[in-house]
Structure 1
């Protein structure tokens, strides 16, 4: 993928990985717009020179309105990155977890589908373009304290595979970005092994610039997750990660 002359929309790009990738695309020479829910963050990004748009991916009307505004300003849009996501802890022994599950699925999975649906006709009419969907290493190696997050990201992976197959021959590519734990929003305090954001973004941009661009963007730090079943390490790693259940309220280390 030539990163120097694209018109990119990063949905969910007001913080963390999304914001850093928006900056990296811009630094490479692309025109970049960012959509998100936080007016303060959008204002800061507008001051940096980005086009900014309000969007709530859980609201179909908001997605449609944002699409219309984006395409009116950027009719040459050729790359849509779907970054919106939430990570919520859930104790599956407590039925009250269902609201967290609902929020997670509505944002991570249905939000991705809403955004893809909104921009598919435009990219297909162009006969050229790229969707970048975002999953997680947790899609392939679950983190038990966040069951719906893992399920939603596994679903986005499967959906991305089907989307790529259905768009074959249209000129529209589907690239799946699979982050490991990345040091954003305080994650470096929770997980000392989280990959520094700068290092992650540098590796991602290098992989995206390959010709042809891989269907899955796998930085070195996520490959142990992606290939755990193939490598025979899956059961052991899930058991190890299950120790983190102790972080749930009311769960002691002996109950992990």
Structure 2
């Protein structure tokens, strides 16, 4: 993936990792489109960056995705990079029967959303030079967090989907997976200051250095996420599962 001269769409681009990706790619000489549910938050980012524009999008709503894709392609036909970053993480109790609204919302946002948006844009992207799709998954795609089972499952599914997409689009669109470790963002309440989580700035410094490599790695993996990514291959899955879940529980409890 080339690092400048692109027109890049970042979903979930008003905060956290999405905002950092938008701002850092913009600083490298790219036009950046950010999308999210709250227009006012998008406008706050765009107001301080000439060359960033924001459009409202409900990534869980198929009709919103179709209308958004049509608008973006009409106003920005030069778009050649899609970064599927928007996501939600909700805690769930699997030990009792419960309302599954949170699980269903997580699947709609984290899995169906990027699949639908990619589908809406794929015919256009395959016509563009230097086209790329970046799917943001998680280290939890490889070792799940028991307290957020549907989140972990959607990220595992997106990892698998990305592998298939990469093979299907070989020679047409570059497909990259970005799998973060636990990062200090507001993905969950209190996470932005949680001890033991990777500072957002440090994470992004490492991510952008990996994006600058030629060729771009198929998987953007900062050093800290390797503990999760390679747990099964290194035959230490069970102790890693226990360690990760114990660490996360203690971190949430303070």
Q: What's the TM-score, normalizing by structure 2?
A: 0.92
Q: Does structure 1 conserve the Cα–Cα contact (< 8 Å) formed by 2:134 and 2:176? A: yes
- List gaps (5 residues or longer) in structure 1: none
What SS does structure 1 have at the residue aligned with 2:120? helix
- SS of 1:107's partner is helix
Aligned residue number for residue 11 of structure 1: 11
Q: Describe how 1:95-114 pairs up with structure 2 within 5 A.
A: 95-114=97-116
State the alpha-carbon separation in 2 of the partners of residues 246 and 173 from structure 1: 37
**2:210 counterpart of 1:207:** yes
Q: For 1:87, which of 63, 66, 89 is the aligned residue?
A: 89
Q: What does 1:35-114 align with in structure 2 at a 5 Å threshold?
A: 35-48=35-48, 49=50, 50-114=52-116
Total equivalences in the alignment: 246
Tell me, yes or no, if the aligned pair for 1:10 and 1:80 is still in contact at 8 Å.
yes
Structure 1 residues 196, 242: CA separation in 2 closer, same or farther (over 3 Å shift)? closer
1:167 to 166, 169, 174: 169
Q: Does the CA contact (< 8 Å) of 2:39 and 2:54 recur in 1?
A: no
Distance 2:4 2:170 in 1: 24
Kept in 1: contact 2:80–2:125 (CA 8 A): yes
Q: Which runs of 5+ in 2 are unaligned?
A: none
- RMSD over aligned CA atoms reads 1.7
Q: Structure 1-normalised TM-score?
A: 0.91
Residue deviations 1:5-48, cap 9 Å, x none?
11101011111000011000001111111011012211202212
Is contact 1:144–1:244 with CA below 8 Å preserved after alignment?
no
* Stretches of 4+ aligned residues off by more than 3 angstroms: 241-247
